[in-house]
Amino acid sequence: MTAIDKIRLAKQASASIARANTLQKNAALRSIADHLVAHSKEIIEANELDLAKGSSEGLSAGLIDRLRLDKARIESLSEAVLQVASLADPIGDVKRGMTLPNGLRLNQVAVPFGVVGAIYEARPNVTIDIAALALKSGNAVVLRGGSASENTNLLLVSILQKAIASAGLPSDAIQTVDDFGRQGAVEMMQARGLIDVLVPRGSAGLIKAVVEESKVPVLETGDGVVHIFVDESAREDWAVEIVHNSKVQRPSVCNALETLLVHQNAATKLLPSILGRLSESGVTIHGDDFTQSLFDGAVAATEEDWKAEYYSLDLAVKVVSGLDEALQHIAKYSTHHTESIITEDVSNAERFLQEVDSAVVMVNAATRFTDGGEFGFGAEVGISTQKLHARGPMGLAELTSTKWLVRGEGQTRV
């Protein structure tokens, strides 16, 4: 069987998934959640093979962390699937409706895309997240998880297929082309008419390659050069805790803080405590001259640091003259993912919300909240930094299209 054969099987199964009612889809999701927990031991064993291979091949600490599945993470994935099951079914949701002067009744309703493809790397949680969201939104799915997580993903797909089959849905609705390596990804990108939308998740290089090479429409996710601006009115306790949480809680993910900007009028007071707390947690500070003068442990920042998505315990820090310079810096270096301001100045907060052009803009909150699970989506397809169709964390609604239903009583056009 070739990669394109598997993609065709998903296409054929997509009609059955699209017809499935909410009870059927939820039963399949509950079965997935149960199967994940029941097969935890086998999943961890397969994952350990991938971790060992990744370590021997020199994968970064950030990618190793993303690759890892332990008992707690598997249980978390199971809980996320159950949360997806508890959410309202998006299919059939009426977006708008009207009755024309001639009596025609129009309704625009949500419908599945059909087949969702996902190309990603070293992220086995994505295998479960996207499969669950695709299923609940009435879609079949084709997955390419990359060589780094090949053992884990092959087992997870097998578990997913058995789980949905036990609930009466076709196992062919979930496919992987990992068996075919790079060629599998190429086949996905060329499968116009079979795959309806393609989602890349991973490095900037992977996303760029998919966007440029794909003949299939792409829902583009993006890398995260994430900023926090500490305004001169910021509360010290909020600044210390929000910055620390944003950088340290899980540095290997796209919503982790990468650049900290601090108002010059607050720098002398706040930076030593902010950077001291970070340093205690092992963070390396890449600072401008002002930052280095305030904190002995800082190393000199270069132009590349303002562009860096570290995926590690490294942080770029710059002291700015005020909100104007902070906004200018963000506009120049942001990847339009997530930015946050820490302030008690309502005017500055509102200006930041209005002027920053990113998918998620926050006030007095950690950037780690930019996440489908945290937003109440159960899981996420990814975080879109584009502006067409979907932006920010993508959940069930973003895996649907629409169609118009028109009901008449013999009307003809004059």
**Residues 262, 402 share a domain:** no
C-alpha triplet 120, 74, 30: angle, nearest 5°: 95
Residue 414 included in any domain: no
Indicate the pLDDT class of residue 113, thresholds 50, 70 and 90: very high
- Owning domain of residue 238: 226-369
**Residues 144, 215 share a domain:** yes
**Residues 232, 207 share a domain:** no
Across all residues in the chain, what is the average pLDDT?
95
- Predicted confidence at residue 234, as pLDDT, reads 98
**Residues 235, 138 share a domain:** no
CA distances from 271 to 63, 243, 249, 402 (A): 30, 11, 19, 50
- Mean pLDDT in residue range 80-108: 97
Total domains present in the chain: 2
- The arrangement of strands across the sheet holding 174-176 comes to 174-176, 140-144, 115-120, 197-201
Percentage above 70 pLDDT, the chain? 100
Indicate the pLDDT class of residue 222, thresholds 50, 70 and 90: confident
**Of 403 and 372, the one with more pLDDT:** 403
Percentage above 90 pLDDT, the chain? 89
**Residues 231, 365 share a domain:** yes
- Predicted confidence at residue 202, as pLDDT, reads 81
* pLDDT surpasses 90 at 387: no
- Per the CB < 8 A criterion, the answer to whether 198 and 189 are in contact is yes
CA distances from 343 to 60, 232, 353, 370 (A): 35, 7, 12, 19
CA distances from 412 to 98, 103, 407, 409 (A): 18, 11, 12, 9
- Predicted confidence at residue 220, as pLDDT, reads 86
| Angstrom distance (rounded) from CA 408 to CA 131 | 38
pLDDT by residue (tens digit) across 327-362? Answer: 999 999 999 999 999 999 999 999 999 999 999 999
* pLDDT surpasses 90 at 63: no
Residue-level length of the chain: 414
* pLDDT surpasses 90 at 34: yes
Identify the residue whose tokens are 């930094």: 385
- Mean pLDDT in residue range 148-153: 95
> Among 85-94, 158-167, 378-387, where is mean pLDDT lowest?
378-387
Model confidence pTM above 0.85: yes
**Residues 269, 126 share a domain:** no
- Per the CB < 8 A criterion, the answer to whether 111 and 52 are in contact is no
Task: Say which CATH number the domain at 291 has.
Answer: 3.40.309.10
Strands 382-384 and 392-394: antiparallel
- Predicted confidence at residue 49, as pLDDT, reads 97
Pick the closest to residue 242 from 222, 227, 253 (CA basis): 227
Identify the residue whose tokens are 């930019």: 370
Residue 192 included in any domain: yes
Residue 364 included in any domain: yes
Please state the φ and ψ torsions of residue 277, each to the nearest 5 degrees. -65, -40
- Predicted confidence at residue 205, as pLDDT, reads 86
Residue 412 included in any domain: no
Q: Reduce the DSSP state of residue 299 to 3 states and report it.
A: strand
Indicate the pLDDT class of residue 325, thresholds 50, 70 and 90: very high
**Residues 323, 175 share a domain:** no
**Residues 198, 120 share a domain:** yes
**Residues 246, 185 share a domain:** no
Residue 374 included in any domain: no
* pLDDT surpasses 90 at 47: yes
| Angstrom distance (rounded) from CA 260 to CA 412 | 63
**Residues 208, 101 share a domain:** yes
Task: Say which CATH number the domain at 171 has.
Answer: 3.40.605.10
Residue 376 included in any domain: no
Residue 360 included in any domain: yes
- Mean pLDDT in residue range 375-403: 90
- Predicted confidence at residue 255, as pLDDT, reads 95
Terminal CA-CA length for the chain: 54
**Residues 237, 119 share a domain:** no
pLDDT by residue (tens digit) across 258-317? Answer: 999 999 999 999 999 999 999 999 999 999 999 999 999 899 999 999 999 998 999 999
| Angstrom distance (rounded) from CA 381 to CA 118 | 9
- Predicted confidence at residue 108, as pLDDT, reads 97
Residue 170 included in any domain: yes
**Residues 255, 178 share a domain:** no
- Predicted confidence at residue 378, as pLDDT, reads 87
| Angstrom distance (rounded) from CA 250 to CA 375 | 17
